[in-house]
Amino acid sequence: MSSPDAPAIVLPGTSAPDHQSVRFGFENTYARLPERFYARLDPTPVAAPRMVKVNVELARSLGLDPEALASARGVEILAGNRVAEGAEPLAIAYAGHQFGHLVPQLGDGRANLLGEVMGRDGVRYDIQLKGSGPTPFSRRGDGRAALGPVLREYIVSEAMAALGLPTTRALAAVTTGQQVLRETVLPGAVLTRVAASHLRVGTFQYFAARGDTEGTRSLADYAIARHYPEVTRAKQPYRALLDSVIARQAHLVAQWMLLGFIHGVMNTDNTSISGETIDYGPCAFMEAYDPDKVFSSIDLNGRYAYGNQPPVAHWNLTRLAEALLPLLEQEAGDQEAALASAKEALAAFEPQFEAARMAGLRRKLGLFTERDVDAALAQDLLERMAANHADFTLTFRRLCDAAAGLEGGGGARALFADPSAYDSWAAEWRRRLEEEPVSGQARAAMMRRSNPAFIPRNHVVEAALDAAVNRQDFQPFEELLDVVSRPYEDRPDLERYTTPARPEECVSATFCGT
């Protein structure tokens, strides 16, 4: 028997009874900024909204009632058919470099920021509908989203959260009862996204492209107040803002690299000021390790390949520094000093990224102390993995057993086309482990907290999306969500989720959800 306070079970295509009001308790600050920062408009209603999923855990952490969200009235709000009490719907203006080319006006072309709520952790969060209809920024688009991309973002963003990475979250997904036209006709859906904010590098570029220094200043002041209040005490707060964003991005991209994650579309409008992973379009996790791996169907030249992500992040942050130059100049006293200040800030990215990446690699390899040889040891493993097409996630996970002396059935070496390539590296690794006074069991336990057993493997994600989109079967989606919500646990009954794709299952390209 379920407990009295358990959430209502909502099956896809249904909604809970409408017996509760939906209270968000919005406390909106972005809507208080000048009118040129956004366009005010309500979401566009849809024909027949139906609930797919409410994120019960996330709802409660935001002080929201998941049963109320799943009610008929809640579904109307999450689909855009009803405006919640206290919401001030708007589409945010921003610009962005897309594959290196500046587009001076992008903006929310299919998203609607309802407002902001204070989570139980005391942090302010945006509540945004994605796929909620056209806006003044739609650029001839329909403003809608298809069910497949909505479920992909739900799965991958929740997996990233469970893996411990800063990320936007999925609060709910609803179908619209309408179709959208992409390459084919597809069922429409709306994602309710939660973010620390939707401020992007491209938001700053929007004002810089217009020579609007006061707009840049207002945005910077807002970003500081919302995300970096500690820098208000700095002698040069705008330089301190730049330093802070660079530090967060350096750590974020290092975490991507440590998990084999490929964002796929690292445009400046997809680079968050808060340091969260945002905008899951053609994203994917690598299976066989390959620094040049590209999944995005629109990344024809490999600009956003796995191994290019750190320099691209630096490039994007350079565009932020450019947008902030008028403010840095006022702080530093002249243009030359401002340029020197920006260059000094940007020079910190690579060492911060490398420090975060190396610390993560030591954890993945079970190294508690630092030695000069560690970087070469880790790089040697990665090069051997690339040459032997070894699965990135499985190799590191199986090293956990090897560290505890429990390696069996071939272990990590069985993943290498030439197992002797693993053997010679492993001999060096074990010699390095002997330098540390840590038991094999303690080391393996630490490694299992850094090397996930489960990631949302591309072929499994695609199978779940195919079932939902083409057969209205949401069970694979639900099962995959359960798997990726506990990525570091050993679950022997779910080994099929750890198995790399067979040749006929391989996903060679992923697609933007626009």
Distance, in Å, from the CA atom of 138 to the CA atom of 42, rounded to the nearest integer, reads 14
> Beta strands of 3-45 (E only): which ranges?
38-40
The total number of residues written for the chain in this structure: 514
Locus of tokens 């302010």 = 124
**Which of 74, 67, 24, 22 is CA-nearest to residue 49?**
74
For residue 19, the Cα-to-chain-centroid distance in whole angstroms is: 35
The residues near 229 (Cβ < 8 Å, ≥ 6 apart) are none
**Buried residues in 70-82 as b, exposed as e (16+ CB within 10 A):** bbebbbbbbbbbb
Tokens of 136: 């003044």
Distance, in Å, from the CA atom of 22 to the CA atom of 171, rounded to the nearest integer, reads 14
Distance, in Å, from the CA atom of 28 to the CA atom of 458, rounded to the nearest integer, reads 37
Q: Output the CA angle 18-53-451, nearest 5 degrees.
A: 150
Q: Decide: 144 and 176 in contact? Cβ < 8 Å.
A: yes
The residues near 39 (Cβ < 8 Å, ≥ 6 apart) are 90, 91, 93, 107, 135, 136, 137
Tokens of 489: 């646990």
Q: Which of 269, 279, 299, 391 is catalytic?
A: 269
Tokens of 309: 């992500």
Q: Decide: 117 and 27 in contact? Cβ < 8 Å.
A: yes
Phi-psi region of 140 (alpha: psi -120 to 50; beta: other; left: phi over 0): left
Q: Decide: 290 and 386 in contact? Cβ < 8 Å.
A: yes
Q: Decide: 258 and 447 in contact? Cβ < 8 Å.
A: no
**Which of 315, 319, 323 is CA-nearest to residue 349?**
315
The residues near 68 (Cβ < 8 Å, ≥ 6 apart) are 20, 21, 22, 23, 74
Look up 269 and say whether it is catalytic: yes
Residues labelled catalytic: 269
